[in-house]
């Protein structure tokens, strides 16, 4: 019996620890569920939200719409502008063309008026530019006075530039002193520097000299009674005979008839040289033998032109130094006999101060009316033009810039001014 009881008690004791062992695993189960499981899904949700934010399809849709809007308005705009521009341009053109060529006299008058209007326009532009740099105006706009010591430095540089351009020294000094007298003690605006004002004032002074007694050869010849005798004077080597041929060619291109007078009977080969030019140009030449009276040659040429109803007589004369009194007297005789309507001095632009002295001597002897400067295409910057124009106060009609017949141009003061200060 005791053995049965012992076995039963052993069975009880064996079951009791099993029950005790089953209780502890029930307690830790809720502790494991609380922190770990909710943390993982929250992180996954955040990552999904950030991945969804950058909207990729939004950008290509905007790019596709913009080029369509830009391409559409450009196409209809272009044809409309072309149509409007064509119609007004065609209308005014035919009317003036049909009216002008009918009367010849009115056409010449219109050309004169057009030239006068161009001159007025140029003068207005120049006056406007000079007014902008003017120094004597309201004191409220100007802050500083011009000091002579400060101005001399700039004048010295400009003086050197003029001398390098072959301007005669007396002419440079006179122009420089005139600029100094006009500027010293006057005021200039804050928008200008003293160097700019001195340079502008010097350019104005030079331009006024070059433009002095401006001469238009083409307008002058229209007002003269035909035949018109024109006399050319100068020393040897200046290109006087070639200049005569260039003037003849220029007139003949305007349907004018020419007679050349070989008045240089002193230099050997001068008559033959002018004859070659006459043959090339296809114009009449009147010539006598070597050492003949040049006044008689000029007279015969004028009478021939009058009888044949020619337009112009271009009289060549012997090249002579201004110091040769006998040749100067001979030239005076030609003037008395031929009574030229225009006396042109032909000077070498490379001669510098010598050209000035020559022009002064010829002007004192016969009275020069206009000047032609040759060899302007050489190294000279045109200082002789300024020197001669300033010294004798006579206009420059033409400048020769080459050896061909067409290498002669009307003198332009603006062109020469830019050439001097380039």
Domain boundaries, the chain: 148-211, 217-421
Tens-digit pLDDT string for the chain (422 aa): 455 655 655 554 444 444 444 444 444 444 444 444 444 444 344 434 333 444 444 444 444 444 444 444 444 444 444 444 444 444 444 444 444 444 444 545 655 665 666 566 555 445 534 443 454 444 544 457 777 777 787 788 878 888 887 788 888 888 888 888 778 777 777 677 777 887 788 888 888 777 776 788 998 988 899 999 999 999 988 999 999 999 999 999 999 999 999 999 988 889 999 999 999 999 999 999 998 999 999 999 999 999 999 999 999 998 877 667 788 888 999 999 999 999 999 999 888 778 888 899 899 999 999 999 998 888 667 787 888 888 888 889 999 988 899 999 998 888 888 877 77
Domain 217-421 superfamily per CATH: P-loop containing nucleotide triphosphate hydrolases (3.40.50.300)
Cα dihedral 282, 288, 290, 296 in deg (nearest 10): -120
Q: Helix, strand, or coil here: 5?
A: helix
Non-local CB neighbours of 377 within 8 Å, separated by 6+ positions = 400, 401, 402, 407
Q: Say how far apart CA 218 and CA 222 lie, in whole Å.
A: 7
C-alpha angle with apex 155: 154 to 158, nearest 5 degrees?
Answer: 90
Non-local CB neighbours of 11 within 8 Å, separated by 6+ positions = none
Region class of 276: left (phi > 0), else alpha (psi between -120 and 50), else beta: alpha
Crossing angle for the helix pair 270-281 and 240-252, to the nearest 10 degrees:
20
Q: Helix, strand, or coil here: 56?
A: coil
Non-local CB neighbours of 129 within 8 Å, separated by 6+ positions = none
Q: Say how far apart CA 301 and CA 314 lie, in whole Å.
A: 9
Task: With beta carbons less than 8 A apart as the criterion, state whether 374 and 348 touch.
Answer: yes
Report the candidate in 150, 151, 140 with the shortest Cα–Cα distance to residue 182.
151
Cβ count within 10 A of residue 129: 13
Over the Cα atoms of the chain, what is R_g? 49
Cis peptide before 227 (omega within 30 of 0): yes
Q: How far is CA 17 from CA 9, 24, 259, 296, in A?
A: 13, 12, 157, 168
Task: With beta carbons less than 8 A apart as the criterion, state whether 336 and 348 touch.
Answer: no
Architecture of 148-211 per CATH?
Up-down Bundle (1.20)
Crossing angle for the helix pair 325-338 and 294-307, to the nearest 10 degrees:
20
Q: How far is CA 261 from CA 227, 285, 304, 313, 349, in A?
A: 13, 6, 10, 7, 25
Q: Say how far apart CA 410 and CA 396 lie, in whole Å.
A: 9
Q: How far is CA 8 from CA 2, 19, 65, 255, in A?
A: 10, 17, 93, 161
Cα dihedral 91, 97, 100, 102 in deg (nearest 10): -120
Q: Helix, strand, or coil here: 138?
A: coil
Report the candidate in 151, 172, 154 with the shortest Cα–Cα distance to residue 163.
172
Q: Helix, strand, or coil here: 260?
A: strand
Q: How far is CA 146 from CA 160, 180, 277, in A?
A: 21, 10, 57
Q: What is the pLDDT of residue 378?
A: 80
E strand or H helix at 249 = helix 240-252
Query: How long is the chain?
Result: 422
Q: What is the pLDDT of residue 289?
A: 92
Q: Say how far apart CA 360 and CA 364 lie, in whole Å.
A: 6
Q: Say how far apart CA 384 and CA 358 lie, in whole Å.
A: 11
């Amino acid at each position: 019996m005791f053995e049965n009881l012992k076995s039963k008690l052993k069975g009880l004791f064996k079951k009791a620890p099993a029950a005790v062992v089953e209780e502890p695993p029930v307690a830790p189960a809720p502790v494991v569920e609380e922190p770990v499981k909710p943390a993982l899904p929250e992180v996954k949700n955040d990552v999904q939200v950030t991945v969804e934010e950058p909207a990729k399809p939004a950008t290509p849709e905007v790019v596709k719409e913009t080029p369509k809007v830009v391409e559409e308005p450009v196409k209809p705009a272009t044809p409309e502008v072309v149509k409007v521009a064509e119609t007004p341009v065609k209308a005014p053109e035919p009317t003036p063309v049909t009216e002008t060529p009918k009367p010849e006299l009115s056409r010449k008058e219109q050309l004169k008026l057009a030239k006068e209007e161009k001159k007025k326009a140029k003068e207005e532009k120049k006056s406007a530019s000079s007014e902008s740099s003017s120094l004597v105006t309201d004191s409220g706009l100007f802050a500083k006075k011009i000091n002579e010591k400060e101005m001399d430095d700039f004048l010295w540089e400009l003086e050197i530039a003029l001398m390098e351009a072959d301007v005669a020294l007396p002419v440079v000094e006179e122009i420089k002193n005139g600029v100094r007298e006009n500027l010293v003690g006057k005021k200039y605006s804050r928008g200008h520097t003293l160097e700019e004002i001195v340079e502008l004032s010097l350019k104005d002074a030079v331009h006024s000299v070059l433009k002095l007694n401006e001469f238009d050869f083409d307008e002058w010849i229209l007002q003269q009674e035909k035949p018109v005798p024109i006399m050319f004077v100068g020393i040897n080597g200046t290109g006087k005979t070639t200049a005569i041929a260039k003037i003849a060619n220029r007139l003949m291109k305007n349907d004018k008839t020419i007679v050349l007078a070989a008045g240089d009977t002193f230099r050997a080969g001068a008559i033959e040289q002018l004859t070659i030019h006459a043959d090339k140009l296809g114009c009449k030449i009147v010539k006598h033998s070597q050492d003949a009276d040049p006044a008689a040659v000029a007279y015969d040429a004028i009478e021939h032109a009058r009888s044949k109803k020619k337009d112009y007589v271009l009289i060549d004369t012997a090249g002579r130094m201004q110091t040769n009194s006998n040749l100067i007297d001979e030239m005076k005789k030609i003037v008395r006999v031929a009574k030229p309507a225009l006396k042109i001095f032909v000077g070498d632009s490379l001669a510098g101060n010598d050209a000035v002295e020559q022009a002064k001597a010829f002007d004192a002897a016969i009275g020069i009316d206009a000047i032609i400067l040759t060899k302007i295409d050489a190294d000279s910057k045109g200082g002789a033009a300024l020197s001669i124009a300033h010294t004798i106060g006579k206009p420059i009609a033409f400048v020769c810039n080459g050896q061909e017949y067409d290498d002669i141009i009307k003198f332009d003061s603006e062109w020469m001014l830019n050439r001097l200060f380039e």
